[in-house]
Amino acid sequence: MRYCFQLQVRPDRIDEYVERHRTVWPEMLHALAESGWRNYSLFLRADGLLIGYVEADDLATAQAAMDRTEVNARWQAEMGELFVDLDVPPDQGFLLLEEVFHLEDQLDVVPTGQTNASEGS
């Protein structure tokens, strides 16, 4: 399944956030992969709005697997201070966004060659 989430990085800590993600600890990268996080990307707007995208069989299961790792506890503790108004670790405090469109899902159900119904009128 595909998941998208939102967080807010402190504007005065954006450069530090970006720098930390240029060289994520190898053990953190391996833990994410081994916990079922796939095709994981983070996108950051200039004002600190952070959008994350990840694929997982089940996000809650992938999060629980990460919670059981020591490296995740260390990473979340260090990263937590970079976010606005979080009283929980960042990986527990993000806002999940609802997917409302996915091109491939819709193409899978549209017969080949079908056009907009109004075009044929």
List Cβ neighbours of 119 (8 Å cut-off, separation of 6 or more).
none
SS3 content of the chain, % helix, strand, coil (to 5): 45, 20, 30
Q: Is 21 a catalytic residue?
A: yes
∠ CA(69), CA(75), CA(78), 5° rounding?
145
Both tokens of 85, joined, read: 């108004």
Catalytic residue, from 2, 21, 30, 45: name it.
21
DSSP 3-state of 7: strand
Rounded distance between C-alpha atoms, residue 74 and residue 76, angstroms? 6
Question: Mind telling me the catalytic residues?
Answer: 21
